[in-house]
């Protein structure tokens, strides 16, 4: 008896402990299951929306699911609209700070003349430290005068739109987009249908379809992600929407919701267009990784190598005015190498050719080693660091820096809507070009080449060119007359009928330049314009260049240069083959992945891709 009196309570305690443990296990399984079932609808979200955003939508749908209370059926339309407005406001995309205060901020239109040009500065490749640290592209604001609604894509975003059309891919989410469209329409009609007590069945069916679409879109971004029999689900949703449209509903409310959705979609499309154009500009102006690798390797190799002794005979060639001297302003090693190689390859006699490459301190050592180790037939190459030059009569307190040719995109509207707008690219001298007479005091004539040109013919005839007392020989682009730019340049003394002249290939008579002291004239014009503070700083160089050389430009024959290979997809193949010089002006330079593929071969063939440094850096444009 005593044994039983002690064992029975122990058994009871053991059974109680087992029951308690089983209860805890059951509750631990039941609570998560209840949470999952209860929050299932709230956790589903349409593709592209956050959980917080979609939960608001689900709450709206659940409100209309109950029809047994007069208070909810008689809820004011204003309260419902406020909920949707708040939801749409949260969905509305917000531009990053770079967009609101940076490159794509639109100017307020003042002059509504449709023929007034829109001029945008197209900067050259950014310095490496700028492109990697800030990530912000500085582009001049568009000039005032063209209504935003009338601007074409190319006028707003330049070559990006041409590149986008050329590289447009086949749509891979057509069904997904169609599902989203149907979901938007169903959401717009659902509040009105839910208020109709006689159509509870349609209301429940519409709600089920909405939730089904939301579940699918939360997992699918392309058509291949969609489940089987999606066509059947689409037809079912279309049928539900068609029946909802057949009932008399508050059309004003539906119209309001649909307009809100349209506005939201337009804002999103505009945001993504600006974001894509921003990334395109960033890719255009940022140094490619392969080129950055090449410069770093060459710089390291320069300091590891013994001193690069220069032959004394080369020093004599640098100063000999009887030879043919070519000047290239460049911070791009590959581009300047192609210019020199293409010029030498087509020259009948390369022994009298001397190339002067003016670069900055960042690229100097890499270029020095590259042109020392690579030969270009019998031609001579000199690399100069413009920052280290000790120029006569130059204020030492003002440091020298390299500035590349300025490029501008000029877009013109038309008075007649039936006529298409046109966009032109013009390039002019930079501040560095006006140092030529001081950098080369012993030379009488030089040919200035931009680093985005390819030579296809012997240029020796340029040295016997009769320029008829003019200072520079240049290609003229009569598609843009100076008279069309007076509002932008702010100068009425310009000859309105004169064509703009282009950099790229320029013959410069340094003797006449010095006689007229054009460098002093240019600097005076720049200072005068900057002191007014009424114009964009990017326009100062453009205006000063045109005024400095007004009446002093000798027009070269059109057969010399063909421009547009950096932005125009429609150039004639025969014209490309006949041109003596190909100018890749525009954003789509041939050394970039964004370059126009069908033109890149004319540039690429002058690269020695078997070079060890190019192979190590995986450079294959």
Range list of H helices, 509-551: 510-516, 518-532, 538-548
Q: Does residue 506 lie in a domain region?
A: yes
pLDDT digits (tens, 9 = 90+) for 588-601: 899 998 889 999 99
Q: Does residue 259 lie in a domain region?
A: no
Please state the φ and ψ torsions of residue 231, each to the nearest 5 degrees.
-60, -35
How far apart CA 18 and CA 24 sit, in angstroms, is 10
Q: Does residue 458 lie in a domain region?
A: yes
Q: Per-residue confidence at 225, pLDDT binned at 50, 70, 90?
A: confident
pLDDT digits (tens, 9 = 90+) for 234-274: 999 999 889 888 877 777 777 777 787 788 778 888 888 88
Q: Evaluate if residue 101 carries a pLDDT over 50.
A: no
Looking at per-residue confidence, does 494 or 499 come out higher? 499
Looking at per-residue confidence, does 380 or 39 come out higher? 380
Looking at per-residue confidence, does 276 or 119 come out higher? 276
With beta carbons less than 8 A apart as the criterion, state whether 427 and 567 touch. Answer: no
With beta carbons less than 8 A apart as the criterion, state whether 165 and 596 touch. Answer: no
Q: How confident is the model at residue 51, as a pLDDT?
A: 33
pLDDT digits (tens, 9 = 90+) for 191-208: 888 888 778 888 889 999
Q: Per-residue confidence at 453, pLDDT binned at 50, 70, 90?
A: very high
For residue 426, the number of C-alpha atoms closer than 13 Å in the C-beta half-sphere is: 27
How far apart CA 618 and CA 269 sit, in angstroms, is 36
Please state the φ and ψ torsions of residue 160, each to the nearest 5 degrees.
-60, -40
**Six-digit token pair at 579?**
């041109």
Interstrand relation of 581-583 and 453-455 (parallel, antiparallel or unpaired): antiparallel
Q: How confident is the model at residue 126, as a pLDDT?
A: 44
Q: How confident is the model at residue 263, as a pLDDT?
A: 81
Q: Per-residue confidence at 31, pLDDT binned at 50, 70, 90?
A: low
CA nearest neighbour of 484 among 15, 115, 49: 115
Is residue 393 classed exposed, middle or buried when 0-12, 13-18 and 19+ CB atoms within 10 A define those classes? exposed
pLDDT digits (tens, 9 = 90+) for 407-450: 888 877 665 554 556 778 889 999 899 999 999 999 999 999 99
Q: Which domain covers residue 295, as residue numbers?
A: 289-616
CA nearest neighbour of 331 among 301, 288, 273: 288
| Selection from 161-170, 214-223, 552-561 with the highest mean pLDDT | 552-561
Q: Per-residue confidence at 481, pLDDT binned at 50, 70, 90?
A: confident
Q: Does residue 20 lie in a domain region?
A: no
Q: How confident is the model at residue 271, as a pLDDT?
A: 86
Q: How confident is the model at residue 345, as a pLDDT?
A: 95
pLDDT digits (tens, 9 = 90+) for 111-145: 333 344 555 666 555 444 433 333 322 333 333 33
Q: How confident is the model at residue 87, as a pLDDT?
A: 41
Q: How confident is the model at residue 201, as a pLDDT?
A: 87
Q: How confident is the model at residue 491, as a pLDDT?
A: 63
How far apart CA 498 and CA 482 sit, in angstroms, is 6
Average pLDDT estimate for 370-395: 88
Q: Does residue 274 lie in a domain region?
A: no
Q: How confident is the model at residue 386, as a pLDDT?
A: 92
With beta carbons less than 8 A apart as the criterion, state whether 355 and 326 touch. Answer: yes
Q: How confident is the model at residue 482, as a pLDDT?
A: 80
For residue 331, what is the DSSP state?
S
Q: Evaluate if residue 223 carries a pLDDT over 90.
A: no
Q: How confident is the model at residue 227, as a pLDDT?
A: 87
Q: Evaluate if residue 367 carries a pLDDT over 80.
A: yes
Q: Does residue 493 lie in a domain region?
A: yes
Q: How confident is the model at residue 444, as a pLDDT?
A: 94
Residues 352, 309, 437: CA angle, nearest 5 degrees: 50
Q: Per-residue confidence at 487, pLDDT binned at 50, 70, 90?
A: low
How high is the mean pLDDT of the chain? Answer: 75
How far apart CA 295 and CA 290 sit, in angstroms, is 9
Q: Per-residue confidence at 184, pLDDT binned at 50, 70, 90?
A: confident
CB atoms within 10 A of CB 245: 13
Q: Does residue 541 lie in a domain region?
A: yes
Q: How confident is the model at residue 147, as a pLDDT?
A: 37
Q: How confident is the model at residue 578, as a pLDDT?
A: 93
Q: How confident is the model at residue 443, as a pLDDT?
A: 94
Looking at per-residue confidence, does 271 or 495 come out higher? 271
Instruction: Sort residue 444 into left (φ over 0), alpha (ψ -120 to 50) or beta.
Output: alpha
426: domain CATH number is: 3.90.550.10
Q: How confident is the model at residue 537, as a pLDDT?
A: 60
Q: Evaluate if residue 46 carries a pLDDT over 50.
A: no
Total number of domains in the chain: 1
Q: How confident is the model at residue 26, as a pLDDT?
A: 67
Residue length of the chain: 621
| Selection from 30-34, 115-119, 610-614 with the highest mean pLDDT | 610-614
Which distant-in-sequence residues (6+ apart) come within 8 Å of 365 by Cβ?
298, 299, 302, 303
How far apart CA 141 and CA 138 sit, in angstroms, is 9
pLDDT digits (tens, 9 = 90+) for 307-335: 776 666 688 889 999 999 999 999 999 99
Q: How confident is the model at residue 30, as a pLDDT?
A: 61
Mean pLDDT lowest among 256-265, 269-278, 349-358, 490-499: 490-499
How far apart CA 334 and CA 311 sit, in angstroms, is 25
Q: How confident is the model at residue 135, as a pLDDT?
A: 32
Q: Does residue 189 lie in a domain region?
A: no
Q: How confident is the model at residue 308, as a pLDDT?
A: 73
Residues 189, 193, 197: CA angle, nearest 5 degrees: 175
Q: How confident is the model at residue 300, as a pLDDT?
A: 93
């Amino acid at each position: 008896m005593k044994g039983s009196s002690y064992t029975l309570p122990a058994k009871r305690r053991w059974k109680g402990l087992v029951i308690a443990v089983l209860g805890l296990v059951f509750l631990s399984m039941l609570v998560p299951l209840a949470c999952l079932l209860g929050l299932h609808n709230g956790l589903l979200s349409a593709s592209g929306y956050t959980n917080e955003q979609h939960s608001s939508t689900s709450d709206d749908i659940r409100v209309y699911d109950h029809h047994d209370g007069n208070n909810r059926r008689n809820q004011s339309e204003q309260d419902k609209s406020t909920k949707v407005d708040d939801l749409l406001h949260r969905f509305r995309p917000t531009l990053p700070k770079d967009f609101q205060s940076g490159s794509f901020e639109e100017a307020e239109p003042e002059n509504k003349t449709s023929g007034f040009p829109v001029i945008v500065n197209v900067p050259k490749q950014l310095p490496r430290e700028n492109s990697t640290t800030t990530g912000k592209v500085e582009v001049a604001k568009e000039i005032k005068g063209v209504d935003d609604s009338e601007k074409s894509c190319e006028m707003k975003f330049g070559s990006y739109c041409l590149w986008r059309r050329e590289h447009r891919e086949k749509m891979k989410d057509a069904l997904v987009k169609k599902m989203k469209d149907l979901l938007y329409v169903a959401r717009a009609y659902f509040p009105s249908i839910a208020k109709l007590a006689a159509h509870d069945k349609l209301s429940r069916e519409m709600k089920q379809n909405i939730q089904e679409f939301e579940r699918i879109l939360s997992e699918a971004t392309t058509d291949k992600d969609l489940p089987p029999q999606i066509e059947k689900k689409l037809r079912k949703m279309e049928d539900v929407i068609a029946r909802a449209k057949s009932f008399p509903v508050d059309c004003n409310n539906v119209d309001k919701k649909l307009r809100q959705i349209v506005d939201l979609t337009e804002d999103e499309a505009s945001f993504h267009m600006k974001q894509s154009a921003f990334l395109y500009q960033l890719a255009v102006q940022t140094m490619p990784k392969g080129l950055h690798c090449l410069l770093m390797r060459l710089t390291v190799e320069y300091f590891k190598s013994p001193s690069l002794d220069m032959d004394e005979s080369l020093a004599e060639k640098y100063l000999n005015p009887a030879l043919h001297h070519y000047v290239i302003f460049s911070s791009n090693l590959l581009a300047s190498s192609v210019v020199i190689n293409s010029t030498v390859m087509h020259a009948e006699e390369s022994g009298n050719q001397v190339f002067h490459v003016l670069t900055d301190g960042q690229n100097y050592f890499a270029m020095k080693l590259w042109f020392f180790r690579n030969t270009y037939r019998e031609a001579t190459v000199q690399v100069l660091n413009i920052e280290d030059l000790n120029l006569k009569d130059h204020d030492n307190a003002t440091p020298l820096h390299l500035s590349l040719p300025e490029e501008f995109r000029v877009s013109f509207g038309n008075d007649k809507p039936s006529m298409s707008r046109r966009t032109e690219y013009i390039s002019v001298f930079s501040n560095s070009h006006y140092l030529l007479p001081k950098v080369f005091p012993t030379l009488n004539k030089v040919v200035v080449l931009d680093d985005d040109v390819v030579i296809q013919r012997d240029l020796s005839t340029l040295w016997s060119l009769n320029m008829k007392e003019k200072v520079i020989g240049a290609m003229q682009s009569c598609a843009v007359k100076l008279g069309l730019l007076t509002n932008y340049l702010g100068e009425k003394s310009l000859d309105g009928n004169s064509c703009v002249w282009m950099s790229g290939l320029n013959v410069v008579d340094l003797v006449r330049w010095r006689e007229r002291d054009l460098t002093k004239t240019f600097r005076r014009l720049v200072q005068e314009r900057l002191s007014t503070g009424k114009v964009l700083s990017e326009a100062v160089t453009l205006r000063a260049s045109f005024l400095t050389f007004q009446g002093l430009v000798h027009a070269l024959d059109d057969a010399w240069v063909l421009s547009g290979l950096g932005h125009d997809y429609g150039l004639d193949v025969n014209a490309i083959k006949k041109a003596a010089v190909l100018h890749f002006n525009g954003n789509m330079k041939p050394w970039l992945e964004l370059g126009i593929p069908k033109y890149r071969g004319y540039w690429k063939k002058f690269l020695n891709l078997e070079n060890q440094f190019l192979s190590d850096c995986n450079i294959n444009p």
